[in-house]
Amino acid sequence: QKEVEQDPGPLSVPEGAIVSLNCTYSNSAFQYFMWYRQYSRKGPELLMYTYSSGNKEDGRFTAQVDKSSKYISLFIRDSQPSDSATYLCAMSYSGNTPLVFGKGTRLSVIA
Amino acid sequence: DVKVTQSSRYLVKRTGEKVFLECVQDMDHENMFWYRQDPGLGLRLIYFSYDVKMKEKGDIPEGYSVSREKKERFSLILESASTNQTSMYLCASSFFQGARETQYFGPGTRLLVL
């Protein structure tokens, strides 16, 4: 079993839809959880960061962590064509270990 | 604004050539990373460095070496390029290895080995 599982998609939604992106993981020692966004032919950029369980909101984006289920989610409200990108989840055990990335989900928001 | 730059956006090399990929960051970050990204396989860590002249193997170090002579510069070396090293190579830097500080990525180098 891979440490971090993420459905690669592609996921195609109409503009204005609510998007749900998810990752599951196997190691309960993960404590730090991130979502990166990667536009085509660019490097990933950090979108959201969460420590341990709970929710975090930033504008149209909400990150959720459920450590009991080993499941993290990213919700995008009122999705826009500019949200079309690949979204990668990432996590780490502590502040001193490298990140473990999911394979990424490719999202297309259609105008 | 944090900047991580990579020496080339696109590179074409022949099998057996020695290939150097350079990465420079301008934020005085201690930690630097090299990943490769392949369709269906995601981001895989090749090597990372937490200080000048220090290096640690990542998940797929075979066929690669690295050099960090200065804090701002981290080089990835393919001693004898092979076709299975055709990939997108991404460099990143951060203050901490994990998540307490975000990793900043460069734009990537697309390497084609013929």
pLDDT digits (tens, 9 = 90+) for A15-72: 999 999 999 999 998 988 999 999 998 999 999 988 888 899 999 999 999 999 999 9
Asked if the Cβ–Cβ distance from B92 to A91 is below 8 Å, we say: no
CA B25 to chain centre: 12
Distance of alpha carbon A17 from alpha carbon B32, whole angstroms: 37
* Interface test mutation site (partner A, options B102, B104, B109, max chain A beta carbons within 10 A): B102
Asked if the Cβ–Cβ distance from B97 to A34 is below 8 Å, we say: no
Interface residue B87 vs chain A (CB under 8 A)? no
Share of chain B residues as helix, strand and coil, in percent rounded to the nearest 5? 5, 50, 45
pLDDT, averaged across chain B: 91
Asked if the Cβ–Cβ distance from B98 to A92 is below 8 Å, we say: yes
Q: Read off the pLDDT band of A7 (50, 70, 90).
A: confident
Tell me what the mean pLDDT of segment A100-107 comes to. Answer: 94
Structure tokens at A98: 């490298």
Q: Give B-chain residues touching A32 at CB under 8 angstroms.
A: 98-100
Which tens digits make up the pLDDT trace of B39-89? Answer: 888 899 999 998 899 999 999 999 999 999 999 999 999 999 999 999 999
Asked if the Cβ–Cβ distance from B58 to A44 is below 8 Å, we say: no
At position B12, the amino acid (one-letter code) is V
* Interface test mutation site (partner B, options A3, A6, A46, A106, max chain B beta carbons within 10 A): A46
Q: Looking at per-residue confidence, does A41 or B22 come out higher? A: B22
Handedness of CA B94, B95, B96, B99 (dihedral sign): negative
CA distances from A33 to A22, A87, B27, B78 (A): 12, 13, 23, 32
The pLDDT, as a whole number, for residue A71 is 94
Interface residue B21 vs chain A (CB under 8 A)? no
Query: Nearest-5° angle of CA A81, CA A42, CA B58?
Result: 130
